[in-house]
Amino acid sequence: MKTRTMMRNAAFAAAAFAAIVGCSEINPYSIEAPDDLQSKIDEYAAEREAETSGDTYEIPLMPVIVGAEDNTTGWWTEWSQYFKIPANKLLTLTFVNYGSGANNWNNWNVVVTKPYERDTDNYYEYFALRSDAYGWKGADDPNYDAGLISIDYPDLDGDGDIWNDFRSYMNGATVTMKFDHSLAGKVFFSATAVSADGSVTVTESYNHPVSSTEEIWAFLIPDGSHFVMQSAVISPSEIQEEEDFDAETITVNGYPTTLEVAAEGEEVDYWGGASATVTFADGSSQVVGKDDLSFTAPDFTTTGTKTVVFSYSKTKLGNYGKSVAGYYNIEVTNPVSSIAVTKAPSVTDYYIFDNTDIAFRQSGIEVTATYADGTTGVMENSSLTFGAVPATVGEQEVEISYVGATKTVSTTVKVNVIKGAYAIGAPDFTNGWWTTFTPEDTKIAAGESCVYEMDLYSDNLENYHSPCTILRKSDAAEYIVVRMDHFGWGDGYEPCVKESNWNWDTFKANLNGSHVTITITNNGETADIRYAVIYPNGEEHFQNYLGIPVDGADLNSALVTEESYLVMVK
């Protein structure tokens, strides 16, 4: 290996120097040296050159062992070095993975970022990925797509559960991880693991948009695991060419719906916090910024409905191509003199448990503005600022404000704050999967039911950021785990009857503020799980899992939630 070669050369140089200083008489014009000294010097120089330039080179490994060798390292407490991947280059990492075996995620974890260190203001994660086919987006990156994760993990013992096998063969597995930083503006990731005995080979893969020119960084994170690093090699990208596609459609969301009339020459922000999504001819889509668009702006110095026209003229790979266009309307009004709540919100009862204020639920509320000319009109909620619900039991007031061009006007709405029984999850939605549960399992006797009633607070980013129900035995062996969004797993999942009346186009957007009742009934040889959900706007839905095979003499239930917060009513 190169490391041994360099040590050999260093030892040879030290020996030569010792021989020289040990001479009593030195002729500076005649030094005894091996005949191949120059070739060794040239070899050493070539190796040093290869470490900093050329098409292929190794990255020195520091440290070689990442994480405590007894697998006690907790999440986000230790990291590997940063591996820096230039555009049009491929990073190949090889290491031996060791995990505690306690959980699926107690193996390798990897994060890909922009070229800034973790504790700096510019730190930006593209995505994080775990070895168990789970990942998440960086806080500022909109492009993570879990549907692009691909695995070929086998069910070796035929019990219908791939993960018990996974936890076994990953311990001691040699992992070859590749990050291909394509000039097309994507990183193509794969991780191939070979079990310690060589009997199992599995691969996980994913791809994600990144900068096509700026280098990207990657680092490993142990979590109840550790890694023995073997090599890190940079080589030319294997992605030679990617087909390009024209833009087909563009949509804009989050634009301001009302603006106050502007003075002559005044600059008007008609974009606000909007975002644009472009769909290309291959069906893929990208979120693009305001700077990527061209605009035709109307005259904002008069009142009335104004139309903003926008267009986008780049291909999927960022080349100039066919232009696509769209528009949105903004109502330009006279200055707002005052605002008042003219229709109460759908939800006025809020359950709290800790000292964290709760986001106000806007569904159903109507706020009417009175303008400078005496006219009135119902305002769009997007033009208003809603304060948080104070975490104080009793009747409370929530402030509603409108920030105009010359002044800010406000009003309040009353809500009722009630102390909940307990809470599950994190109010800021930072709780990961399988980390936050009900305090203890509830045993359900045959012929009886268990009811969980709660307010659901969610970031509305994924369907599964909502309560999940677990049925298991006293020894924690699971019958079934089922989510609120018509999905689950376990031996009892396939045999049960699954029913729901969701509108999947609106499911995710209505999670936050929903009132959820989960009823679990022990029928003896089977069990039923029924979700009854009331959206903040009053719309009602259900999700049922009926006829789950169980041992009625040993049935226990629990809830778990991910990136959401449950305040239990009872």
Distance between CA atoms of residues 433 and 563, nearest Å: 8
Closest CA to 173 of 152, 149, 150, 202: 202
Distance between CA atoms of residues 134 and 562, nearest Å: 13
Q: Chain centroid to CA 155: how far? A: 27
Per-residue pLDDT band for 356 (boundaries 50, 70, 90) equals: confident
* Identical fold between 336-419 and 422-568: no
The string of DSSP letters for 220-276 reads E--SSEEEEEEEEEEEE-S--------EEEEEEES--SEEEPPPTT-----STT-EE
pTM above 0.85, yes or no: no
Q: What is the pLDDT of residues 41-88, one digit of tens each?
A: 555 444 544 444 468 999 999 999 999 999 999 999 999 999 999 999
Q: In which order are the strands placed within the sheet that holds 285-288? A: 247-253, 275-280, 285-288
Contact predicate 503/495, CB 8 Å: no
Distance between CA atoms of residues 399 and 413, nearest Å: 7
- Structural tokens at position 508: 């995710």
Contact predicate 558/441, CB 8 Å: yes
Q: Evaluate if residue 240 carries a pLDDT over 70.
A: no
Contact predicate 93/83, CB 8 Å: yes
Q: What is the pLDDT of residues 441-481, one digit of tens each?
A: 999 999 999 999 999 999 999 999 999 999 999 999 999 99
**Angstrom distances, CA of residue 222 to CA of 76, 121, 225, 228, 465:** 8, 24, 5, 11, 25
Per-residue pLDDT band for 108 (boundaries 50, 70, 90) equals: very high
Neighbours of 154 (CB within 10 A): 14
Q: Helix (H, G, I), strand (E, B), or coil: what is residue 424?
A: strand
Beta bridge mates, 557: 442, 471
Q: Evaluate if residue 427 carries a pLDDT over 70.
A: yes
Q: Give me the pLDDT at residue 395, please.
A: 96
Q: What is the pLDDT of residues 469-525, one digit of tens each?
A: 999 999 999 999 999 999 999 999 999 999 999 999 889 988 988 999 999 999 999
Strand pairing report for 109-113 and 125-130:
antiparallel
Per cent of the chain over pLDDT 70 is: 90
CATH top class, domain 336-419: mainly beta
Distance between CA atoms of residues 400 and 383, nearest Å: 11
Contact predicate 418/351, CB 8 Å: yes
Distance between CA atoms of residues 348 and 396, nearest Å: 10
Q: Give me the pLDDT at residue 536, please.
A: 80
Neighbours of 79 (CB within 10 A): 16
Q: Give me the pLDDT at residue 19, please.
A: 36
Q: Give me the pLDDT at residue 190, please.
A: 97
**Angstrom distances, CA of residue 23 to CA of 10, 19, 32, 489:** 21, 7, 11, 78
Neighbours of 164 (CB within 10 A): 14
Average pLDDT of the chain, as a whole number: 88
Architecture of domain 422-568: Sandwich (2.60)
Per-residue pLDDT band for 242 (boundaries 50, 70, 90) equals: low
Contact predicate 207/186, CB 8 Å: yes
Average pLDDT of span 268-294: 91
Closest CA to 178 of 168, 166, 165, 187: 187
Neighbours of 274 (CB within 10 A): 17
Q: Between 1.20.120, 2.60.120, 1.10.8, 1.10.357, what CATH number should domain 57-236 receive?
A: 2.60.120
Average pLDDT of span 529-556: 94
- Structural tokens at position 4: 């041994």
Distance between CA atoms of residues 252 and 363, nearest Å: 22
Strand pairing report for 258-260 and 320-333:
parallel
Angle between helices 2-21 and 37-52 (to 10 degrees): 140
First-to-last C-alpha distance (Å) of the chain = 64
Beta bridge mates, 425: 565
Q: What is the pLDDT of residues 368-393, one digit of tens each?
A: 999 999 999 999 888 899 998 998 99
Mean pLDDT: which of 245-249, 294-298, 554-558 is highest?
554-558
Q: What is the pLDDT of residues 306-320, one digit of tens each?
A: 999 999 999 988 888
Domain boundaries, the chain: 2-21+32-52, 57-236, 251-330, 336-419, 422-568
